[in-house]
A and B are shown apart, each in its own frame.
Chain A
Amino acid sequence: MMPEERFNVRHAHKPRRDAYGFALRPQYVQTYQEYAHIYKEEEDERSDKWKNFLEHIEKSSQSCSLEKAHTEELPAEATEQKAYREELQAEPTEQKAEIVSESDEEGNDKSSLKSISEGSSERDPKKEAQLPKETGKSKVQTWSFIRSSLSSIENMMSIRVRKQKNMKDEHIVVDKDHLPSIEEVPSQDAFEDGQEEDIYLDASSGATSVSNRESDGLKASGEDEVVDGGVCNSVQADQTKEDVANGIHPEPLFPWNQELESLVHGGVPRDLRGEVWQAFVGVKARRVEKYYYDLLAEETDPGESMDNDNSCGAFRKWRKQIEKDIPRTFPGHPALDENGRNSLRRLLLAYARHNPSVGYCQAMNFFAGLLLLLMPEENAFWTLVGIMDDYFDGYYTEEMIESQVDQLVFEELVREKFPKLVNHLDYLGVQVGWIIGPWFLSIFVNMIPWESVIRVWDVLLFEGNRVMLFRTALALLELYGPAIVTTKDAGDAIVLFQSLVGSTFDSSQLVLTACMGFLAITETRLKELRDKHRPTVLEVVEERARAKKWKDSKGLSAKLYSFKHDPTITEEKSTTEEESANGDVSQSKSDSCNLDEMLKGLSLSSELDSLSDPQDQVDWLKVELCRVLEEKRSSVLRSEELETALMEIVRHDNRRELSAKVEQLEHEVAELHQALEDKTEQEAAMLKVLMLVEQEQKVTEEARISAEQEAITQKHALYVLQEKYDKAMSSLTEMEKRVKVAESMLEATLQYESGQAKALSPRSLPGSTQGNPTRKIPLLSFGLGWRDRMKRSNDSKSTNEQSDPPIPQEETTPTPQEKTSPTPQEKTGEEVQEHVEGGSDTQVFD
């Protein structure tokens, strides 16, 4: 029943657009097709769940006293709506279906949006505003109430809306002194009826559009059932409001809140989404009847709009920007044909009038376009008002303060949660703000695939604050941080990041990671962090403003000069002059607006009303005119004086500031120098230490090496010794063998000798005993047995023989000698001769 489903069917074969009619990037077509099935399954599942849930809460709300409020509500609505809707739709669903079937017949390129806008563009919006009763005649719906089954949710969220409004009311009263200027612009527009003017005065201050009425209603909550609809008794209601203010959901009253939350995490069914979003934002509690049409009337009434243009160039600037941006909002989207664009234009212009502190800011075109795809034009307007004025209050204003604050807050959170990623990004020279800035400002529109955008918006709108913005961004960092850490240069990191984020088709995973993974990120925590970082942003903004003023002062004086001389053309001249003087005109423009306002709006209209006679009125007007002109003149003079004074002050200020800055900078430079010196010193010290360590290491190493070498040589020596020892041992055994051989030979010789001696004669006995030891002596040095024997013979013979050196030659010759010289004398003679040669005395023998 929603247009998106038809897009899906139409492009099923070749999807260049997704189910919502948004263009798909060619590189993601494949992935999208894969996920389309999953989306379909999820959608079926959540449809059932929501159906059961809504039936359930409807029953339970009927059992409460809610029923009473509910039934009372309907007639009240009916009277409210009588002027608008002749055919009051009891069942909005029916009507929507009608629209869709209608556009189906018209052709596939049409959508519900188209038929909506078609109808409204048929008529002159001015006429529409003037004759709201006629709107019912056209079957097209520019406003519709959401289905009754969602009213419980709507009621719950409405409490939140009213509470916020009350808080803001106080806030604005306090701030009034600081916000004197642009806020009062629309109040000068004459309204015939006092009540309307009342609304406008509120509306002009942006968020407070409905507040007076609403807060009155709250004070008299007993009387006004519709306003407090759904609350069982006022005491409880107060409690609830308290809870809401503290970020706690009003659970005692809405026991199904938890269930609703988990359903929202799972996604809102497509055909309910537009209405559920309105319920979340509390559109019903925000809406002021006719307000939207009055804003449109202002825009299209030539006299009034001219007046507006002249009185405040800012508006002209917004209109120009809106014109530039309309064709660049979802270009090519089937629903944004000419009628769709007209619708978008009206919506944006109306918002700019509604809240001049924001006016028009790029990004709003996307939000408004998205809302227009899901709901009728006026509903989209009030939803946009809710999002811009409450959820993103201070975000898209001229200074964009809150958006800058949020960036600082987010950066702190990232540093806390993903130190590794931040380290890497720091190393690459990538700032987190570069990447997430656009995410936050666009609330992820065009950054992640549409299914994911919408799922994030489901939760964000449900929660009523920007917590989901933070959680989603953190979830994306968690999902893709690990990949980013692998990149090697800044460009690659950012490109990779963008493309990964752009392919986040798994919307359930994203929402789940966001909602479950970062429970510690709460509104309370964010508020603390925002308060901490806001001063930094304000300081910078003020600095810029001061510099701007200084620059603008020249232009301002010229403007005031012409103002004085030709009051009728002042406004136009001043605006063109500003624009040509420099690009930064907003400041001075709003200045001129203020001045204008002060001069013109001086209690003029109210007094005029009290005079009935036209002549009287004319006279009074004349007098008033003179007075005003006079006042104008003196004001101009005064402002010129003030300006010169201001310029002086600024100059002084500047000088002082500059010198202070120079001092500070010098100080900083000195500090940096110091730091640098310290660092270099430290480095030198480190180097020294390193060198020392290194040297020590070298020494140790050398010692080790020499020790090793020694060990090797010793090993070698050991080996050599072992070899020597082995050799010695083997030669020893050899010797022993030879000794044994020699011994046995000797013995044999001895036996032979003794045998011969016995056989020859007994007298040769002494000779033989004399000769024996001399022959045996050399052999005795190796054989112990011989020594013993020799000892014995030495003892028995003379001691002189002991010292006789052994003569080995005699060893081998004894037997032949004895054979050839059988006489002992001869033999002794020979022996004596030998002894003389050896240097020993032979006389001893004689």
Chain B
Amino acid sequence: MGCSSSLPDRGSGRLVGPNVENGGAADAKNLRVKLVLLGDSGVGKSCIVLRFVRGQFDPTSKVTVGASFLSQTIALQDSTTVKFEIWDTAGQERYAALAPLYYRGAAVAVIVYDITSPESFNKAQYWVKELQKHGTPDIVLALVGNKADLHEKREVSVQDGMGYAEKNGMFFIETSAKTADNINLLFEEIAKRLPRPALSSSSSIQNP
């Protein structure tokens, strides 16, 4: 009696995975996405996250030690919501040894460089390669040239950034955490590029 009704539940529960509670039936409408920010130290990763999550720009942000976590939910035009679970990592080279801990299982990686620093652009390319090799398969990669407000000090051209991104099948955008330019757009565009569970059975979105 009670047994026969619990059987199908067991089966479906396993298919959907452990994080059904919040999504319920509207899973395809409410996405949860693990996103990791990578890039050289001082390019403005923490500032981008703080701008996106808290809407603030603190010119004297703190050095990130290890990594820090923030989350933010956005609503899209098609009435779906996307909850970004953002890991902001430390930029210094030696902390790269700890980065796999954070980018493993991430559905999105945002690789940031500073348009006034060619060195940071090189570092961004290193991260792209690293993620292509060791990141989640089907990971959505975004290349971000930050500090676009400092155009008079620009040393990496838009063409260079865009060209590299295109070659590697990445989404490209230039932002400024200081003026908030393109910050929200960056995350909205990422959200649009996510594989939907309804359309494809990619598990990278649902499962951490």
Contacts and interface: CB of A to CB of B under 8 A. Distances in A.
Contacts of A431: 101
Nearest to A435: B69
A498 interface: yes
A438 B85 contact: no
A428 B66 contact: no
A362 B122 contact: no
A414 B142 CA distance: 35
A324 interface: yes
B122 A324 contact: no
Contacts of A494: 69, 71, 85
Interface in A477-511: 488-492, 494-495, 498
A490 B87 contact: no
Interface residues of A, number: 59
A47 interface: no
B85 A491 contact: yes
Given A495-B71, A701-B1, A331 B122 contact: no
A556 B127 CA distance: 21
Contact of A433 (B70, B96, B101, B118): B101
B21 A489 contact: yes
A317 to B, nearest CB: 8
A517 interface: no
Interface in B115-132: 118-119, 122-127
B61 A434 contact: no
A427 B65 contact: no
A332 B60 CA distance: 8
Given A361-B92, A400-B97, A693-B3, A437 B67 contact: yes
A333 to B, nearest CB: 10
A300 B189 CA distance: 49
B69 A328 contact: no
Nearest to B93: A586
A365 interface: yes
Contacts of A694: 3-4
Contacts of B125: 582-583
B22 A434 contact: no
B19 interface: yes
B126 A583 contact: yes
A324 B42 contact: yes
Given A438-B68, A582-B125, A694-B3, A325 B94 contact: no
A328 B98 contact: no
A438 B97 contact: no
A434 B123 CA distance: 23
A687 B91 CA distance: 52
A541 B97 contact: yes
A361 B98 CA distance: 14
A428 B208 contact: yes
A498 B58 CA distance: 20
Interface size class of B (residues with CB under 8 A): 35 or more
Contacts of B68: 438, 498
A324 B97 contact: no
B13 to A, nearest CB: 13
A206 to B, nearest CB: 16
B102 interface: yes
Contacts of A544: 97
A629 to B, nearest CB: 33
A442 B123 CA distance: 24
Contacts of A66: none
Interface string A413-436: 000000000000001111101100
B32 interface: yes
Interface of B is mostly: mixed
A362 B41 contact: yes
A244 to B, nearest CB: 31
A490 B208 contact: yes
Contacts of B61: 328, 331
Contacts of B123: 583
A112 B67 CA distance: 33
Most B CB within 10 A of own CB, among A325, A433, A490: A490
Contact of B92 (A321, A329, A446, A495): A321
B90 interface: yes
A697 B105 contact: no
A491 B122 contact: no
A398 B32 contact: no
A489 B3 contact: no
Nearest to B119: A579
Interface string B77-107: 0000001010100111111111001100100
A383 B3 CA distance: 67
Interface in B134-172: none
B208 A366 contact: no
Contacts of A430: 208
Nearest to A541: B97
A385 interface: no
Contacts of A687: 7
A366 B63 contact: yes
A581 B125 CA distance: 10
A529 to B, nearest CB: 19
Contacts of A396: 94
Nearest to A585: B93
A515 B67 CA distance: 27
Interface string B40-70: 1110000000000000001011111111111
Contact of B87 (A327, A434, A690, A701): A434
Interface in A432-451: 433-434, 437-438, 440-442, 445-446
Contact of A697 (B3, B18, B207): B3
A21 to B, nearest CB: 15
Contact of B93 (A397, A584, A697): A584
A668 B70 CA distance: 36
A580 interface: yes
Interface in B161-208: 207-208
B69 A404 contact: no
A537 to B, nearest CB: 9
Contacts of B97: 399-400, 404, 541, 544
Nearest to A494: B69
Interface in A296-331: 317, 321, 324-325, 327-329, 331
A253 interface: no
A694 B173 CA distance: 60
Contacts of B58: 331
Contact of A328 (B7, B21, B60, B207): B60
A697 B122 contact: no
Contacts of A598: none
B94 A361 contact: yes
A687 B21 CA distance: 25
B187 to A, nearest CB: 15
B63 A697 contact: no
A320 to B, nearest CB: 9
B7 A690 contact: yes
Given A404-B97, A429-B18, A583-B122, A446 B7 contact: no
B3 to A, nearest CB: 5
B60 A327 contact: yes
Given A329-B63, A366-B63, A442-B66, A583 B87 contact: no
B65 A434 contact: no
Interface string B1-13: 1011001000000
A327 B32 CA distance: 35
A83 interface: no
Given A541-B97, A582-B126, A363 B19 contact: no
Looking at B7, B66, B92, B101, the one whose CB has the most chain A CB atoms below 10 A away is B66
A693 B3 CA distance: 9
19 contacts: A321-B92, A361-B94, A362-B65, A396-B94, A400-B94, A428-B18, A429-B207, A434-B102, A441-B66, A489-B22, A490-B34, A490-B208, A541-B97, A544-B97, A582-B122, A582-B126, A584-B126, A690-B3, A701-B1
Given A332-B60, A361-B94, 4 more contacts: A365-B63, A491-B69, A494-B71, A693-B3
The 6 nearest A-B residue pairs measured at CB: A331-B60, A429-B208, A583-B126, A438-B66, A583-B123, A491-B71
